């Protein structure tokens, strides 16, 4: 009788261990922190090129390509006197930091090489192509390309991009692609953009896929100040992030998965603090 009970308990215990071993691992604080750090770096890379893309659209729609190149080149020499500007065909080649003077645009200070090609200036079908080599704002460095299309000065812009980025504050880099629709944030484009789209990247930790929904981002911030991120992670857990501004420097980020919820604050440099 005793032996029978002992065997029964062993069988029951073994079944419980099997069940527990197959249960989903709860979403941990460590996983939440990794997810937000990855999102911060990808957002920094996207924000850096967004400002540069905005610069490449600063020409009068409807004119000739030559007129647009001349207008854009004159604007860059005026606003960014640090840059050497060379014209090669329908492309402006900018090297930031060659000369003394301001290298600031969209709240960021630029270094590196930036090539702008004007493909079309026609109303309804404006297209530019941007290429970057070692393009940086001292926070993140980007190399890659993007194609931007839009209809009018106030209409949304479609941006398709392929990038490699490296953090200058942490030993982390990644390669990714994305497509997003960018709308004007506020009265004009000088503050930032409202973003909806998708972004996929790969780094040593695995594959990440981000969906953005009405993510309102100022040029100089490391994460949106409002909107929603939905992130598919390498640890097979979908994560949702919501954003709200705390002050000029900090944005609160609520990271959720299932019934787990973690709160962080991210400053302009991308530094993450948990609460």
pLDDT tens for residues 174-203?
Answer: 999 999 999 998 878 888 999 999 999 999
163, 143 in Cβ contact below 8 A? yes
Residue 38: strand, helix, or coil: helix
**Mean pLDDT, residues 125-145 taken together:** 96
* β partners of residue 248: none
**Mean pLDDT, residues 161-171 taken together:** 90
Where do the DSSP E strands lie in 58-124? 84-88, 91-96, 104-105, 108-109, 111-120
**Encoding tokens for residue 59?**
């020409």
130, 152 in Cβ contact below 8 A? no
Other beta carbons within 10 angstroms of residue 3's beta carbon come to 7
Residue 275 above 80 pLDDT? no
Q: What is the pLDDT of residue 25?
A: 59
Where do the DSSP E strands lie in 20-73? none
For residue 112, what are the contacts with CB-CB under 8 A and spacing of at least 6? 95, 96, 97, 132, 133, 134, 135, 136, 141
Q: What is the pLDDT of residue 189?
A: 86
H/E stretch holding 1 reads none
Q: What is the pLDDT of residue 82?
A: 95
**Encoding tokens for residue 130?**
């941007």
* β partners of residue 217: 193
Local confidence band at 17 (pLDDT 50, 70, 90 cut-offs): very low
The Cα 40–Cα 37 span in angstroms is 5
Residue 6 above 70 pLDDT? no
Local confidence band at 107 (pLDDT 50, 70, 90 cut-offs): confident
Beta-strand pair 111-120/91-96: antiparallel
Question: 121-142 b/e with 16+ CB inside 10 Å = b?
Answer: beeeebebbbbbeebbbebbbb
Residue 39: strand, helix, or coil: helix
Q: What is the pLDDT of residue 183?
A: 95
The phi and psi torsions of 89 (rounded to 5 degrees) equal 65, -125
The Cα 81–Cα 98 span in angstroms is 9
Residue 50: strand, helix, or coil: helix
The Cα 150–Cα 54 span in angstroms is 11
Q: What is the pLDDT of residue 274?
A: 86
Residue 15 above 50 pLDDT? no
What burial class does residue 90 get, using C-beta atoms within 10 Å of its C-beta: 0-12 exposed, 13-18 middle, 19+ buried? middle
The phi and psi torsions of 13 (rounded to 5 degrees) equal -65, -45
Other beta carbons within 10 angstroms of residue 236's beta carbon come to 9
């Amino acid at each position: 009788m005793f032996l029978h009970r002992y065997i029964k308990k062993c069988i029951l215990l073994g079944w419980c261990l099997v069940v527990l071993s197959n249960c989903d691992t709860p979403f941990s604080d460590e996983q939440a922190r990794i997810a937000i750090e990855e999102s911060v770096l990808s957002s920094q890379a996207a924000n850096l090129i967004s400002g540069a893309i905005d610069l490449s659209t600063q020409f009068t729609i409807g004119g000739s390509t030559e007129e647009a190149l001349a207008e854009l080149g004159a604007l860059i020499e005026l606003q960014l006197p640090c840059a050497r500007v060379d014209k090669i065909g329908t492309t402006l080649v900018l090297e930031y930091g060659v000369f003394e003077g301001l290298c600031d645009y969209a709240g960021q200070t630029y270094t590196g090489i930036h090539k702008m090609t004007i493909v079309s200036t026609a109303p309804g079908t404006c297209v530019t192509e941007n290429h970057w080599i070692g393009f940086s704002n001292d926070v993140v460095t980007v190399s890659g390309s993007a194609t931007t299309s839009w209809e009018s000065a106030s209409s949304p812009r479609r941006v398709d991009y392929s990038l490699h980025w490296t953090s200058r504050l942490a030993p982390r880099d990644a390669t990714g692609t994305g497509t997003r629709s960018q709308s004007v944030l506020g009265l004009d484009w000088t503050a930032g953009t409202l973003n909806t789209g998708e972004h996929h990247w790969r780094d040593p930790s695995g594959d990440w896929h981000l969906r953005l929904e009405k993510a309102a981002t100022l040029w100089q911030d490391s994460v949106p100040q409002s909107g929603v991120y939905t992130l598919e992670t390498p640890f097979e857990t979908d994560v949702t992030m919501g954003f709200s501004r705390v002050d000029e420097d900090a944005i609160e980020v609520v990271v959720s998965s299932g019934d787990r919820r973690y709160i962080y604050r991210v400053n302009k440099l991308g530094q993450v603090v948990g609460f």
